[in-house]
Amino acid sequence: MLSLRKHWFSLVRLCDVLHVAGRRSRSSGVNVKYDYDLIVIGGGSGGLACSKEASQLGKKVAVLDFVSSSPKGNAWGLGGTCVNVGCIPKKLMHQASLLGQSVKDASHYGWNVQGDTIDHSWESLVMSIQNHIKSLNFGHRVQLKEKNVEYYNAKGSFVDSHTVLARHENGDEVSLSAEHIVIAVGGRPHYPTNVQGSHEHGITSDDLFFYSKPPGKTLVIGGSYVALECAGILAGLGCPAHLMIRSHPLKAFDRDMVNLVMSSLRGHGVQILSHCEPQSIERGSNGRLDVVWRDEASQTCRDQFDTVLFATGRQASTWALELPRVGVAMDTPTGKVLVDERDTTSVDNIHAIGDAAYGRWELTPVAVKAGKLLARRLFEGSNVLMNYETVPTTVFTPLEFASVGLSEEEAVSRYGNERVEVYHAFYRPLEYYLPHRDSSQCYIKMVCEAVDTERVLGLHLLGPNAGEVLQGFSTAINAGLTRDQLHGTIGIHPTCAEEVVRLHITKSSGADPTLTAC
């Protein structure tokens, strides 16, 4: 299948080359002089990284970025999903929810916390987050100017394979040409079409971080990491949160870890509605939302909520680019652009990175790295490709879940059960002891190739600050870390990260993996 796709790519590219060559030969007989060496359509993390890297290599670069409002009327500035409605506001809200738990723990550490009631101001939190985001928007514009990247606050669409039409909000249009064009438009959440009233009454993560008042009792629909994170954050901030999942949550992740993540969410107060499908949403006479759904027994259920948040997937923001006009191949259901291992589309001088590219991780650091490497390949002669195989990531649920490499299921599928060994442990963070917090979901799993020195194929961690812990280990795994090397490493005591280097109990042994304190 991959071979056929490569041959198809080659055929389409040959046609494009012949088209461009014909167009040039019909001109004055000289090579076309382009306005820019590179045009990047999309001002998110990947597009900005690619444009700035190309500019640093001495190329003339332009960036086009325009954010269409969400159905609820929310729009934002330069920086893409991560800065405005993704990683940054999410992590800040995650931190806010963790602080609520810390305040509850404080009395066990000798702090005199008056009373049992902890008040939280949603309005103050949102204002602080939005002020920070605006400073980041401004900072991105300053950086582009400092690096001599021309910025157009305009929508872009293809005229031909080397020409983009930039449309400003006031209706002004300008035609721009470039030797290379990068599609980095990212994606936006989508509403399910089979749920009556979803557009009229539902919101998405594009809206949550702009909410001017507490969302109250909230139904989060979806099983993605965005859904789980939003549900956990809302519960931590005192909003009754319900999470409705049609099939399985976090499908791409290790099943043991996911089951523990869900158990942890329940422990933090999130009500889980498993194997349920929403049917309709209506505004009741009392102003609240009447939601009807079917449960796993096909029974009709209903309840009232103040807010319904859809986190049921995203689609690439490619609809306005006119890609069929220039022959760029796409995956129709998702709107994503098909690319090869060099992030090049079916048209040789058009490339795609980030969330708009098919088969790529929808993660900011992935887009940033891919953008920089692409610029170096185009303008510096580099042949270094992006490694999409061993990518670390963290799900910022109340108890964080970090992962890098293969899940146990993926490893067994790839190598066979007899060539996979799993080391695992349940552990108790020291900071949980005094407040007697539940640590039954704090778990580590290391997946190894069961030959010779046992190369580490995957590492998965559920616990406090899991993302911070796993970052360093991901570097080692990319460098070929073995179980022997890990076991020979001295741990930093007393930390959660120390428990990783202490792993010694195999899953196949059937021994109790619960670790005891020193």
**Does 34-72+131-189+315-379 carry CATH code 3.20.20.140?**
no
Name the phi and psi angles at 159, rounded to 5: -95, -45
Q: Which residue has the tokens 């064009």?
A: 181
- What single letter denotes the amino acid at residue 256? D
What is residue 370's predicted lDDT score, i.e. its pLDDT? 98
Topology alike, domains 34-72+131-189+315-379 and 399-501: no
pLDDT recorded at residue 391: 96
The answer, yes or no, to whether residue 240 has pLDDT greater than 80, is yes
Where does the pLDDT of residue 18 fall: very low under 50, low under 70, confident under 90, or very high at 90 and above? very low
**pLDDT in the model for residue 320:** 94
pLDDT tens, residue by residue, 303-340: 999 999 999 999 999 999 999 999 999 999 999 999 99
pLDDT given at position 469: 97
Annotated catalytic residue within 7, 351, 487, 493? 493
Residue range 21-62, pLDDT digits in tens: 443 333 334 467 999 999 999 999 999 999 999 999 999 999
**Mean pLDDT value of segment 425-435:** 97
Mean pLDDT for the stretch of residues 95-124: 90
Looking at per-residue pLDDT, the higher value among 517 and 388 belongs to: 388
Q: Would the pLDDT of 367 be above 80?
A: yes
Q: What is the DSSP letter of 509?
A: T
pLDDT given at position 444: 98
Residue 8 CB neighbour total at 10 angstroms: 13
Residue 119, pLDDT score: 87
Q: Is the pLDDT of residue 17 over 70?
A: no
Strands in 401-405's sheet, in edge-to-edge order, are 393-395, 401-405, 456-462, 443-449, 420-426
Q: How far out from the chain centre does Cα 237 lie?
A: 22
pLDDT of residue 26: 34
> So what's the pLDDT on residue 19?
43
Which residues, 6+ apart, have CB-to-CB distance to 285 below 8 Å?
none
DSSP conformational letter for 418? G
CA 169 to CA 156: how far, in whole Å? 11
CA distance 405 to 486: 16
First to last CA, the chain: 54
Q: How far is CA 105 from CA 111, 398, 426, 433, 434, in A?
A: 9, 15, 22, 10, 8
In this prediction, residue 110 carries a pLDDT of: 94
Does residue 493 carry a catalytic annotation?
yes
How high is the pLDDT of residue 5? Answer: 45
* Residue 518 pLDDT grade (very low, low, confident, very high; cuts 50, 70, 90): low
Residue 10: pLDDT over 60: no
Which pLDDT score is estimated for 453? Answer: 87
Confidence of residue 481 (pLDDT cuts 50, 70, 90): very high
1: confidence class by pLDDT, cuts 50, 70, 90: very low
pLDDT tier at 113 (50, 70, 90 boundaries)? confident
Q: Which CATH class is domain 399-501?
A: alpha beta
| pLDDT reported for residue 31 | 65
Residue-level pLDDT at 305 = 98
Average pLDDT, whole number, for the chain? 93
Report, as an integer, the average pLDDT of 416-427. Answer: 97
Buried b (16+ CB within 10 A) or exposed e, 392-417: bbbbbbbbbbbbbbbbbebbbeebee
Residue of 372, 376, 345 whose CA lies nearest to 359: 345
User: Could you give the CA distance from residue 429 to residue 463 in angstroms, rounded to a whole number?
Assistant: 8
Calpha distance 486→382 (Å, rounded): 33
The string of pLDDT tens digits covering residues 215-231 is 999 999 999 999 999 99
Nearest alpha carbon to residue 442 among 518, 498, 390: 498
Helix, strand, coil abundance in the chain, percent, nearest 5: 35, 25, 40
Domain ranges of the chain: 34-72+131-189+315-379, 198-311, 399-501
Specify the pLDDT at position 33.
92
Angle (deg, nearest 10), helices 225-236 and 87-106: 40
DSSP for 165-211, please give it.
EEEETTS-EEEEEEEEEEE---EEE---TTSBTHHHH-B-HHHHTT-
Stretch 128-155: mean pLDDT: 97
Cα distances (Å, whole numbers) of residue 372 to 137, 365, 368, 376: 20, 11, 6, 6
Q: Is the pLDDT of residue 295 over 80?
A: yes
Interval 371-376 mean pLDDT: 98
Q: Which two tokens stand for residue 160?
A: 């031909």
What stretches of 270-329 adopt beta strand conformation (E)? 271-274, 277-283, 289-294, 300-305, 307-310, 314-316
Question: 198-311: what CATH class?
Answer: alpha beta
SS3 label, residue 339: coil
pLDDT at 144: 97
Give 378's Cβ-side CA count (13 Å radius). Answer: 33
What are the distances in angstroms from CA 330 to CA 2, 45, 80, 355? 15, 22, 22, 13
Say if residues 424 and 438 touch (Cβ distance below 8 Å): no
Sign of the CA dihedral running 251, 368, 460, 504: positive
